[in-house]
Structure 1
Amino acid sequence: MTTVTSPLAGRAVGLAAVPDPVFAGAMVGPGTAIDPVREPTAAVAPVDGLVVSMHPHAFVVMDENGRGVLTHLGIDTVQLNGEGFELLVSKGDQVRRGQPVIKWNPAAVEAAGKSPISPIVALEAPAEALSAVAEAGDVPVGGALFTWN
């Protein structure tokens, strides 16, 4: 069992509320999304593990059970070409839950015309593998988002 915690402070909104059909349709996997507070912050690792994918706007941490958790900072933020994002770790690094991974500013993303809503996805998991999925309410950094059974 893997408990996935929030990489961001904000409001849980669920994947269906993500303004992107790939995430909203859970095509990359089930999970939830956070509408982050609008202040400069760092997205933190949602699980202990290995950083297996690293982009300015997104990262994947694979835990000891081989489960990859995607944190995608905002929607269509790849179009910002890394502007406004600062990588704090590298692909291949071991990270601990709660460790800062990427600095960014959700308000600046919004000002650039992109949605700052951030999906947190259990990659390639069947939907029934997740339980206790947070889809509403305020979530602190490190608050439980879902359990991957």
Structure 2
Amino acid sequence: MPGSFSTTTLQITTGSTETVTDLTAACERFLQQSANGRDGLLNVFVPHATAGIAVIETGAGSDDDLLAALHTLLPSDDRWQHRHGTPGHGRDHVLPALVPPHATLPVIGGRLELGTWQSVCLVDTNVDNADRQVRLSFLGC
């Protein structure tokens, strides 16, 4: 079916601190341009070995809680075998096992179907690389 797949890449600068970046508005803008009112699936993918995609609540402290939990689970110390970069950088390479580098979300009538408090977020604990790409792909019917 012609026109049933479209994709784009977002360029995101996360800065020099661990971050949770809300991508929901960018996802919605992409769907306005590509879904044309159709049902389908939105895939959000970050092609980096040290970042992930989470669907969580933001703005009420949950994003900070996520970073704190990741710090507890994956401390920035010298325990990691992967040792290049800043001290503790090996933890960043384990992050995608806990926060996967992708999410596939339902699109109904051209709109992202998230729960009331859900947001699509880039989770980046790697302070060595502030430039990230996020690929958005819509497969519609």
With structure 1 as the length reference, what TM-score do the two structures score? Answer: 0.31
CA radius of gyration, larger in: 2
TM-score normalised by the chain length of structure 2: 0.32
